[in-house]
Amino acid sequence: MSAFDSGQGQNIYAHYLLDLGQLLKENAMEARQQAQSAPDADKLFQKGRLLAYHEIISLMQQQAIAFGLPLYSIGLQGIDPEADLV
């Protein structure tokens, strides 16, 4: 029996989104550090990776706002893709 079948399904999605958002934010900030400190041979790749995090986090934040979800509920408060991930 899954957590959804046992009656915990209503909260499992909220927990999943919160964990996912927090992990993405942590990984994005790590990607920013790696892009800033990458050697020239790796810099282009690391900047592309950072741009991917920018796109993902920006989209998740936009969708949360469109659905009326506060950013803290998906773990993406306190990060501005335009300022933090470029």
pTM (2 decimals)? Answer: 0.86
**Is residue 6 classed as helix, strand or coil in its secondary structure?**
helix
Per-residue pLDDT tens digits for 38-73: 999 999 999 999 999 999 999 999 999 999 999 999
Burial of 48 (0-12, 13-18, 19+ CB in 10 A): exposed
Helix/strand/coil (H/E/C) assignment for every residue in 26-85:
HHHHHHHHHHHHCCHHHHHHHHHHHHHHHHHHHHHHHHHHHCCCCHHHHCCCCCCHHHHC
Is the Cβ–Cβ distance between 81 and 58 less than 8 Å?
Answer: yes
